[in-house]
Every structure is written in C-alpha cells, then in structure tokens.
Amino acid sequence: MKIKPQVVTRFAPSPTGLFHAGTYRTAVFAYLFARHHEGTFILRIEDTDRIRSKKVYEDNILETMSWLGLSYDYLHRQSEWVKEHESIIKNLVNRNQAYVSPEKGEDGVTRELVRFRNQNKVVTFTDAIRGPITMNTTDLGDFVIAKSFTEPLFHLTVVADDALTGVNHVIRGDDHISNTPRQILIYEALGATIPTYAHLPLVLAPDRSKLSKRKGARAVSEYRDLGFLPEALLNYIASLGWNTGGVEEIFSKEELVERFSLDQVQKSGAIFDEVKLRWFNREHLKKISSDRFIAEGLPFLSKRMQGILKESGQTEVILSLLRERIETYDDIRALEESGELEYLVEAPIYEAEKLKWKQDPDLAVTKTHLEATLGAVSKIPEGTWTKESVREAVWSYAEAAGKGSVLWPFRFALTGKDKSPDPFEVAGILGKDETIRRIHTAISKLAHA
C-alpha cells in the first residue's frame, strides 16, 4: 500500500445480467479517474442478492473488463463479507441507530427485518459534477437495511464496503442520486468519512430514455464478437459525456488516462450512437499493425475462404485490400457473404455487354482494348508478375487510348463486378495464367462483336 493519501474509487456491478455501454461507461470513468490520479481502482461484485446473482454474469464482467483493458487493483465479492456486515448491523442496533422489526412478508412468513432509525433531516452533499444537491430524507421513513443480521441489503452493503475499503470517490450513474442521502445517513451513523460523489449523466437510447436491453442495447461483450476493437469502444464510451475541449477525438487508453478530468464531464445524458462508434472503430483500425489486422480479421472469413487464401499464399495481400473498405471486422464477413470476394476464387460469370465502358460507342472498341491489354500483359515474364509490373505494362496504352475505355473492360473481365478494387490489384493477386485466361474468356465473349 502507498503511504500518501490517494484516490480510491471503484466499479460495483451486480452480476445479474449482461451489461451494456451505459454500465461500462461508469467503469471507464471511474477507471480513468483513478489512473489519472495514480490512485486505486477496486472492482466489487455486488452479489448480495443470492437469487439473482449468477456466476456466468460475473465471468462476463471479468472478461469484459479485461477485454476493455480496465485493470483493477483489488477484487472482492460482497457475499464474502457477510461476517463484517453482520457485525456492522449489530453495532447499529446496539447503538439504537437501527432496530429489529418483525414484519409479515408477502408469503405470510414473519421475518425480523432491520430498519434504520431515520433522523428525518435535510441532507446536502456537493456532487463533483452537479454541485450542491439537497434532499429531505423525511419521506424515506425508517428504511430497511437488512432482511436479517446475515442478509444485508444494498444501501448497507454499499456504504459498509466503501468505508471498509477506503473508497473516497464514488463515481456512479445519475440514477443513484436519490439513493445518496440515505447512504450519507448510514455513513453518519457509522461515523465514517463521507466520500466525494460524482454522478454521471445517463447513457440514453435513441428515444432519450435510459439505455436498456429492451431498447435494443447490446451487451458490451457482444461488440467483441461483432469485430469491434476494444480501444475503439473504450474511446467512444469515454467520449460520451466527456471531452477534452480540443478538436481531437481519437485517443489511446494512455491518452485518455492522461487527459481525463471530472470537471469536463457533461451534465446531460448522451445518446449511444452506433454509427459514430463504427467511425471510431474505423479510425482505430487504421492505427493497428498489419499483423494484428490480419490475425484478428482472418477468422471473420469462412473456413473455405481462409483455406483458399492460405493455398494461394495471398492472405496478407487480400486482407490489406479489405482494410480500407471496412469499419469493423464483421464487415469482412459481410463482404464475403455478399459475394464480393468470389472473383478471387473462380472466374466470374457476366453478360458480354457489361464489358463495355459507359462512354464507349460499341463493343468493338472494348474488344480492341482487351486484345491490346492481353498483348501487353503477356509480355510480362512470369517471375516479375506484380500489380506494379501489370500497371507498367498497360498504363501508357491506357493513357493514350483512354483510361476508362481500357481499364473498365480489363477490370470487368477479371472481376465481373460493377464495384471492385482496380484491375492491377486484382491481376496481381490472380497471377499471370489466370489473368490471361480471364481476358481470353472476355475476348471470346465478344467474338461476334
């Protein structure tokens, strides 16, 4: 442990479901705040509700935190601290700050609930983002803090655990503002130091209501499977409700840590916009190494296509060709599924008419140009066949005869597609034999023209 007083903050999810960006935004801000101040970041699993808490959800939280790169200094589960909670509740009762109240539940069984003895006062706290907030706690009544000595409830465990772990900055969602006064009451009863609160504005669905699964919000872990980069998600989530004030938007985790500050956090909610997320992803995709792009992007192609690429030895060339045309890795899968990559595997099937460039009068011109192209590329020695050498062989003729008139038929003969990479790129991948074969096919289609 460090000796100097430091920032201690935490992220405290309850493992009762899969979490969307709204929940993780809290984690991101708490993390950035802690790291910026070289403080301690605690991950606390709030599993006091034994019925609703599930191991799979806890695993999902741990995996997502690690995927996003949100490292924590300390991890604990509330369920492991029942003893501590029990003694705190007993102390409260002994000091007459809480009392046991036998009450009948909905099931007709009488249980000994523990209720907090509310002093009915006005509580004011200064929120780091919103400033002073005042609330009268009278209408809260003597709220329940435990279902029994060994079954503590949310408000008690939150305060107990934060106090026990020395948390001095509570960064959480806006939806907890109304919980804060009663938690402050508990701090006072415990004689513990009240932390600084920072309530973050909510992340909203497109209809401006709180983001939720019902509103179609995806779990953050789902974005991993959809081929998003963790640094893009982190960057975008951090940008929701916070900004540096400058014009740059793309930041690495380290840059975010360096720049983060609570006083630049927005007060109003922000709509989660997947379109902008995709843009962030594209920007981050541009920055990663070619090796990483290939390693991560390849699995999004079918096994069949992966096999074909491996056999041809062109995996790297083809994937880097895709790189500037996609926003997420999943776009690679979509590209293959829509047949965009078929011409790399087998000769295209198309109507002869389509070989003609839009500005040419008839197919006779097309045929002439294809024959000239064929002649030019045939002269390239097998061993020096590259996209550059193909370009060199054809370029001067194309410039003289009209680039569109020459290059459109050339490209179409190779791909059979209205849209594709340029013919040199494709010829480079296909190799000399296949390129010549496809030009021949095109010319024979035009035999009668």
Partner RNA sequence: GGCCUCAUCGUCUAACGGCUAGGACACAUCCCUUUCACGGAUGAAAUCGGGGUUCGAUUCCCCGUGGGGUCACCA
What is the residue type of 356?
K
Smaller CB distance to RNA: residue 38 or 290? 290
Residue closer to RNA, measured from CB, 40 or 281? 281
CB of 286 or CB of 304, closer to RNA: 286
| Greatest alpha-carbon span in the chain | 103
Q: Which window, 65-73, 80-88, 98-106, 252-260, contacts RNA (CB under 7 A)? A: 98-106
Q: What angle is formed at CA 364 by the lines to CA 361 and CA 370, rounded to 5 degrees? A: 110
Asked if 372 touches RNA (CB under 7 A), the answer is no
Nearer to RNA, 6 or 17 (CB): 17
Q: Which 395-424 positions form the footprint of RNA (CB under 7 A)?
A: 398, 403-404, 407-408, 411, 417-424
Instruction: State CA 410 to chain mean position distance.
Output: 41
Interaction mask 267-306, RNA, x per CB under 7 A: xxxxx-x-xx--x---------------------------
| Site membership for RNA, residue 28 (CB under 7 A) | no
| Pair 414, 441: CB distance under 8 Å | no
Instruction: Kindly identify the residues of this chain, within the stretch 246-265, that bind RNA according to CB under 7 A.
Output: 247, 249, 264
Kindly tell me which of 6 and 441 has the beta carbon lying closer to RNA.
441
Distance CA 305, CA 340 (A): 12
Q: Hey, which residues between 65 and 94 contact RNA (CB under 7 A)?
A: 78
Angle formed by the axes of helices 55-68 and 21-36, nearest 10°? 50
Nearer to RNA, 132 or 381 (CB): 132
Give the contacts of 376 (CB within 8 A, at least 6 positions apart): 393, 394, 397
Contact 198, 171 (CB under 8 A): yes
Query: Per DSSP, what are the bridge partners of residue 61?
Result: none
Residue ranges in 102-161 that form contacts with RNA under rule CB under 7 A: 103-106, 111, 113, 130-136, 139, 143-144, 147, 153-154, 157
Q: How many CB atoms lie within 10 A of CB 440?
A: 13
Should residue 46 be labelled a site residue for RNA when binding is judged by CB under 7 A? yes
Instruction: Answer yes or no whether residue 202 interacts with RNA by CB under 7 A.
Output: yes
Contact mark string toward RNA, 213..252, x via CB under 7 A: --------------------------xxxxx-x-x-x---
Query: Quick check: helix, strand or coil at residue 169?
Result: strand
Q: How far is the CB of 311 from RNA (least distance, A)?
A: 25
User: CB of 81 within 8 A of CB of 47?
Assistant: no
436 C-beta neighbours (distance < 10 Å), count:
16
Decide: is 320 part of the binding site for RNA (CB under 7 A).
Answer: no
* Phi, then psi, of 64 in degrees rounded to 5: -65, -40
